[in-house]
Structure 1
Amino acid sequence: MTYFENAVYINAEITEYEGHPLINALPLINSPQETAQLIRRIPEVRPEEIILPAHIRRHAMLRIMDGFLYPTKAHLQLEQTISSMIRQGYLSRNIADKSYQETLNNTADFQSKNRNAGNEALVSSVIGCSGAGKSTAVKAILSGYPQVIMHSEYQHVQLVWLKVECPHDASIKSLCINFFRALDSALGNNSQYEKQYVKPRANAEMLLGDFARIAALHSIGLLVIDEIQHLERSNSGISEKILRFFVQLTNTIKLPILFVGTPKAYEIFSPSMRSARRASQFGSINWSRFNTANKTGKGSDWDRFFTQLWSLQWFKSPQPLTEEIKNLFWDYSQGIAHVAVTLFYLCQTRAVTIGREIINKQLVDTIFNEELHMIRPMIRALQSGVEDEIQKYADLEIPKASLVQNDMVYVEEAVIKENKNSELTKLQQLISMLEQMGIGDDIAPVVAEQAVEELPNGSIFDLIIKRQLRWPV
């Protein structure tokens, strides 16, 4: 049974949000610290399970695969992007204002409108290699919002977010079917919309028009299109038509759209879509593997991620983490989170099965070559660092050519490198002070890094004041 949360309105947090029921029914805007706590998933290793027979312990260890998520700076950036997109998209869709009906009327002749993406494009994307955790991150962040809110005073059902997978055949009809099915599932409609609109004689134009009208009717706050790289399988005419439809959707009814996909997606973005992404105030997120330049450094994202992962041992005598093991897992996973988690799980299950509860180089080598042999060519390509080898596998890495336009990335890297020593000292001081203020040692580094990035020239006291004002404990 679908649960509809009754709207409870909070005081607007900024002036622009005053008098907007769709916005004020949402949860409070999260601080980076609250975001880290929201999405952090650390499975429990119960003491009584450690003494269980190996064949039973293996089942408990599955929690590593199903329930481990460690927040990084990328997660904080994504949450802030999603939070902003939902609220900004609702600004021009105020159900308490008589102009709201005009917004609905705008979809009556939706397909006849031919609007180019302008400065208000509510489009963003999360692009990264398979297994890096993009979809998992989006799902975890969206779980912090009720999906359906009932506004009894306005007789309105608000759908805060909807996640739709781009179909494998990349056809317009299949995309619309996926949309209506996701909508029916969220609203508990028992396929009402799918049955009503997906008919044998319904053509692409009709389906896209119905798509837009229903999206406007239910005030969808964010439309997430996952696996967008599937459009690469259609002919260019179809893929460009779908992308133009999405841009038109965000411009006409102010529906924010978040595309999620692998590096293949860069090949299918048409010039008009690239323009929309550049015009969007939300930008795009390159969801990379863990930073190769800082993979072994203390306090790096990889260091914190793998240290937390390593603590999940169902061994009778937990094994301490060494730099050799951490570097070995990096080498065999190349910083891809899912590969690292899978390799660790398989090593641990093999260790308890053979009765020698230790993970060493020999065991890791064996598991990688025997049980992960299908991804071995991809990992070898990444290990080589040769661009031509890497690009043989389109889901692995964002092509460097696609990153050239992000000039600010290189500027930021140069500044970070130039000021490495002073910034590291400032960062360490801030982390220490945050921990003394009661913030957990796993979350403090992420929050501190966010503060330093937002106020790079601030003193340690400026950073503490910034945190107290915006990120209250």
Structure 2
Amino acid sequence: MIKHPLAHYIEAEIPDYAGHPLINALPPINSPQETAKKLNRYPTVGDSEKKLPGHIRRHAMMRILDQFLYPTKSHLQLEQMLSSMIRRGYLSRNIADASHQRNLDTVGYTDFKSASRNAGNESLVSSVIGCSGTGKSTAVEAILSCYPQVIYHPDYQHTQLVWLKVECPHDGSVRHLCINFFRAVDDALGTDYQQLFVKSRSSAESMLGDVARVVALHSVGLLAIDEIQHLEKSKSGGSQKMLNFFVTLTNVIKVPVLFIGTPKALDLFTPTMRSARRAAQFGSLNWNRFERSDKPEQDAEWERFIKRLWKLQWFEAPTPLTEPMKDLFWEFTQGIPHVAVSLFYLCQTRAVMARREVIDQLLVEKVFNEELSLIHPMIKALRSGRKEQILAYADLDIPTDTIRASGIHVADPELPHTSTEPQQASKAQQLIDMLMQMGIGSDIAPVVAEQAIEEKPDEDLLGLVAHIRALQEKPTPKQVSKKAVAKPAKPVYLKNDLRLVRQSSGTETYSKFQEMGVVIRLDSFL
């Protein structure tokens, strides 16, 4: 039996919320400053970690993917919107009032199948629409995590489910969406609703009524439906049926519903739903990518974001952020946070595995071309500025698991990129490929891999590489030299350092030097 947090009531901030246990058990309403402080996530970079071997250090770098969140004005606006939706939705659902049981009885006898056919406008329906990779789902999850998901009220013997986030299935099936709902409720409450309501012959229509009753029984404060654009794939009018059902939920039970999706989701909304979105008293957010300032002396959200991200370097001598580098990252990411974070992470993994701890323009170009080729059409469309091209690639996303997998098989920037698929290759062949990428010759790599697997047959690839590195780092017997060998000095970079302006060819490097005013044309003096 899961023990849920007990309700601790605070004084109502406004008279409207007085005497409402479901509202007064929530945390205090945050100011924008408090919201920014709570949402800000910045991973630590330990000085001792910067001295670790590259194959270990890259694991610490994964914090960039998991623990970095830069709150913007959109985050603050979204938090205010969700805070208002949850509290206003509870106004007509007061468990301290005798009408609460009557409302439950009304829900129990309501035919949601017929009611959803005539769903009207409801101001408690809202949406967050934006291109994949802009961080809208992450933002919603971060804001909702500031609230306890479950609160138990002993005086009323009532279990309150403050929020519930459900992902729309990829096939757009209404039945599978209901199953996802019951599974999410069971995970939060420790109940067995999925086993109770999901049967082999259960239809989508019958389960919709069960969903509504569970929502009412546990006083769900906010129902967030993520990836709503997947309903586009549903057949036989299922998408419209589901959207009407959610609007009916807000009409009958007064539970706020938040849709999260890409611009393709806009095609799902019929004129009725479009009217509901326009009438929404809380507004609907367009979650856009970062904006870039046209004035060099002013920092827009993109400049502040990239400056903060750039400090997360696991190098003993961090690479400074130059204006050409900011321009290059903008060109390759077009202000999409997820793409920028992924590119920055992959550049670092390549640099440390190649034992050349610097992020220069040549490295960024190689990583973008080889590791992020999947998003090239989208970036090209964003550069064009043409709406039809942008919407064609609006659903593109880069799963974290894919990023991490590609980050393992990094290559020296100066070596050719291998296209061997690790899933199809044997363990020995994968190890040989990794050793060759680390700089071990093709004639020696098979022998070293065979010996390592023979000595450590149960180790995975990373363990075998660590074992080989340990053997390489063992000191070999040699004559003791009286003169100590001086270690190379750590590089120190200056502003507009020419070492960071290297291009893919000598001609391009020369042209870049001309733009910076470093190269003087002598013919003008002759």
> TM-score, normalization: structure 1?
0.81
Who is 1:14 aligned against? 14
Write the deviation string for residues 41-90 of structure 1: whole angstroms up to 9, x where unpaired.
Answer: 10000011111111111111111011100000010011111100000000
- What's 2:178 paired with? 176
Q: Which amino acid aligns with 1:46?
A: G
- CA change 1:294–1:95 in 2 (3 A) is farther
Taking the TM superposition and a 5 Å limit, the aligned residue runs for 1:21-40 are 21-40=21-40
Counterparts of 2:297 and 2:226, CA distance in 1: 33
> Equivalent residue for 1:133?
135
Of 146, 149, 157, which residue of structure 2 is paired with 1:147?
A: 149
Report the equivalent of 1:444.
none
Report deviation, 1:293.
Answer: 5.5
Deviation at 1:315, TM superposition (A): 0.7
Q: Return the alpha-carbon distance in structure 2 between the equivalents of residues 96 and 4 of structure 1.
A: 20
Given the superposition, is the C-alpha separation of residues 295 and 348 from structure 1 closer, same or farther in structure 2, using an over 3 Å criterion?
Answer: farther
Task: Determine if the alignment matches structure 1 residue 214 to structure 2 residue 217.
Answer: no
**285-294 or 328-337: which moved more?**
285-294
Residue matched to 1:187: 189
Q: Could you say which residue in structure 1 is the equivalent of 2:445?
A: none
**Equivalent runs, 1:387-402 vs 2, <5 Å:** 387-395=387-395
Question: Are residues 369 and 297 of structure 1, via their aligned partners in 2, closer, same or farther at CA, if it must alter by over 3 Å?
Answer: farther
Could you say which residue in structure 2 is the equivalent of 1:164?
Answer: 166
* Cα deviation 1:410-436 (Å, max 9, x = unaligned): xxxxxxxxxxxxxxxxxxxxxxxxxxx
Gaps of 5+ in 2: 398-526
Structure 2 CA distance for aligned equivalents of residues 206 and 150 of structure 1: 29
Secondary structure at the counterpart of residue 331 of structure 1: helix
Residue 117 of structure 1: aligned partner:
120
| Deviation at residue 234 of structure 1 after TM alignment | 1.2
Residue 64 of structure 1 corresponds to which residue in structure 2?
A: 64
Aligned to 1:230: 230
Q: Which residue of 1 aligns with 2:80?
A: 80
What count of residue pairs does the alignment treat as equivalent? 394
> Deviation of residue 102 (structure 1)?
2.1
Change (3 A) 1:331 1:297: farther
| Distance in structure 1 (CA, Å) of the matches to 2:334 and 2:24 | 43
Deviations 1:234-275 (A, max 9, x none): 136111110000000011100000110111101111222112
- Per the TM alignment, residue 396 of structure 1 is displaced from its structure 2 partner at its CA by 6.4
Deviation of residue 175 (structure 1)?
Answer: 1.0
Instruction: Give the conservation status (yes or no) of the 8 Å contact 2:291–2:302.
Output: yes
Higher relative contact order (CA 8 A, sep 6+): 1
State the shift of 1:10 in Å. Answer: 0.1
Q: How far apart in 1 are the matches of 2:193 and 2:295?
A: 49
Distance in 1 of aligned mates of 2:150 and 2:78: 21
Q: Is the 8 A contact 1:117 1:279 kept in 2?
A: no
**Which amino acid in 2 is paired with 1:21?**
P
Identity across aligned pairs (percent)? 63
Q: Deviation at 1:292?
A: 4.4
Aligned to 1:314: 314
Secondary structure (helix, strand or coil) at the match of 2:318 reads coil
Match for 1:98: what amino acid? A
Deviation per residue, 1:18-46 (Å, 9 max, x gap): 00000000000011111111111100000
Per the TM alignment, residue 291 of structure 1 is displaced from its structure 2 partner at its CA by: 1.4
SS in 1 for 2:134: coil
Distance 1:70 1:336 in 2: 13
Max Rg structure: 2
Mapped contact 2:129–2:262 kept (Cα < 8 A): yes
Shift of 1:359: 1.0
Q: Secondary structure at the match of 1:281?
A: coil
Deviation at 1:387, TM superposition (A): 2.8
User: Which residue does the alignment assign to 2:53?
Assistant: 53
CA RMSD of superposed structures (Å): 1.7
How many Å separate the matches in 1 of 2:292 and 2:12? 42
Per the alignment, in what secondary structure is the counterpart of residue 154 of structure 1? coil
The letter for the 2-side match of 1:342 is: S
Q: 1:391 Cα deviation (Å)?
A: 3.1
Tell me how far apart the structure 1 counterparts of residues 190 and 228 of structure 2 sit (CA, whole Å): 26
Aligned to 1:380: 380
Note if contact 2:333-2:339 (Cα within 8 Å) is conserved in structure 1. yes
Q: Deviations over 1:271-310 (max 9, x none)?
A: 2211211121011100001014659663311111111100
**Take 1:265 and 1:62, find their aligned partners in 2: how far apart are those partners?**
31
In 2: Cα distance, 1:388 partner to 1:99 partner:
51
Q: Single out whichever of 195-204 and 304-313 deviates more from structure 2.
A: 195-204
Distance 2:273 2:167 in 1: 19
Q: Is the 8 A contact 1:121 1:251 kept in 2?
A: no
The alignment's TM-score, normalised by the length of structure 2, stands at: 0.73
Output the CA distance in 2 between the equivalents of 1:217 and 1:4.
Answer: 16
Tell me what 2:96 maps to.
96
Matching of residues 194-209 of structure 1 within 5 Å: 194-209=194-209
Note if contact 2:128-2:259 (Cα within 8 Å) is conserved in structure 1. Answer: yes
Contact 1:106/1:253, CA 8 A, preserved across alignment: no
Q: Residue 211 of structure 2 aligns to which amino acid in structure 1?
A: F
Query: Could you say if the C-alpha distance between residues 336 and 116 of structure 1 is closer, same or farther in structure 2, counting changes exceeding 3 Å?
Result: same
- 3-state SS of 1:259 partner: strand
Structure 1's unaligned 5+ residue stretches are 398-473
